[in-house]
Amino acid sequence: MKVALITGANRGIGLETARELGEMGIQVVLGSRDLERGRKAASLLSARGIAAEAVRLDVTLPADREQTRQFLADRFGRLDILVNNAAIMVKDSSSLERREELRRVFETNFFGIVELTQALLPLMRKSRSGRIVNVSSILGSLTLHSDPNSRIYDSKLFSYNASKTALNAFTVHLAYELRGTGIKVNSADPGWVKTEMGGEHALVEVSEGGRSSARLATLPEDGPTGGFFRQDETFPW
C-alpha cells in the first residue's frame, strides 16, 4: 500500500485530496496544525473504509517537521506521496510594503514547504515511484499576471500571489534536481474552490477541489514532471 502525507488536510482541499487518494487504496496521513481536528478528519475517512491517520504538523515549526519525519520513518519506513497543500492568505491587503504580512505568508506557503520537503526526501527516495505535489494557484502565474487580457490580471494579492510564484520556482528546481530518479514533482492549481479561503462565490465545489492534486499524486511512470497543471490543463509559469 502506498503512503501519502497531505499537509493542511483536516478540511477543505487537503481533506478532499486525502479522500480521493484514500479511495484509491492509498494510506493517507493527514497533517494538521490542530491534532484533534486532524484526528476527527481521519475518523471521518476511516468510517468510509479509508486507511487514515493524523499527525500534528505546522509546516513552519521545525519540531513538527521532525516529528512528522520520525513518525513516517517509524510507522512506514518510506513516503510515496507528498502533497504540500497547507497555505494561508491575507485578503485585506495587496500592499507591497507590509513586510510582516509578506513574511508570515511566505513562512507557511513557501519556506515551510521547502524545509518539510527537504526533510522528507530521504524517505521519498525509498519509494519506487515518489510523487511530490505542490498545491499552487493560477494566481502564481507571472505570465497571466502580466497580461492585461488575462482573467486574473486584476487579482493582485501580492503576498499570496508571490508566495505561489516562489513555490512554482521550487517545483521547477526540485524536478530538475530529481531528474533521473523515480520522483516526479509538479505544481497543481485546484481551481477557485468553495473553501473557507476561497469563499462562497468560488466556482468549484469542495468535493472537486482535490482532483488536480490526486491526479498528479498518482501519475504513471511516463507522466510529466516539472509542470503546472489543473487536471489535464497546463498553465504557464
Catalytic residue among 160, 176, 184, 194: 160
Whole-Å CA distances, 62 to 28, 104, 125, 200 = 22, 15, 21, 34
Residue 43, Cβ density class (10 Å: 0-12 exposed, 13-18 middle, ≥19 buried): exposed
Catalytic residue among 2, 40, 164, 184: 164
Backbone angles phi, psi at 144, to 5 degrees: -75, -35
Residue 201's pLDDT is 45
Four-way CATH pick for 3-234: 3.40.50.720, 3.30.420.40, 3.20.20.100, 3.40.50.10320: 3.40.50.720
pLDDT in tens, 186-236: 999 987 644 555 445 444 556 566 888 999 999 999 999 999 999 888 999
User: Taking Cα atoms as reference points, which of 191, 215, 214, 136 lies closest to residue 168?
Assistant: 136
C-alpha count within 13 angstroms, C-beta hemisphere, residue 105: 23
Cα(127)–Cα(33) distance, integer angstroms: 26
Report CA-CA distances (Å) from 14 to 95, 98, 171, 178, 179. Answer: 28, 28, 19, 25, 27
Indicate the average pLDDT of the chain: 91
pLDDT digits (tens, 9 = 90+) for 89-134: 886 555 565 788 899 999 999 999 999 999 999 999 999 899 999 9
Residue 109 DSSP code? I
6 three-class SS: strand
pTM: 0.92
All structural domains of the chain with their residue ranges: 3-234
Amino acid 194: pLDDT: 43
Whole-angstrom distance, CA of residue 214 vs CA of residue 230 = 11
pLDDT at 152: 84
In whole angstroms, give the CA distance from residue 169 to residue 109: 13
* Catalytic (active site) residue 160: yes
φ, ψ (nearest 5 deg) of residue 36 = -65, -40
Distance, CA of 179 to CA of 98 (rounded, Å): 38
H or E stretch at 69? helix 62-75
Q: Which string of DSSP letters, residue by residue, matches 181-237?
A: SS-EEEEE---SB-STTT-TT-SB-GGGTTHHHHHHHT--TT---S-EEETTEEPP-
Q: E-assigned strands of 10-143?
A: 27-32, 52-56, 81-84, 131-135
Catalytic residue flag (residue 164): yes
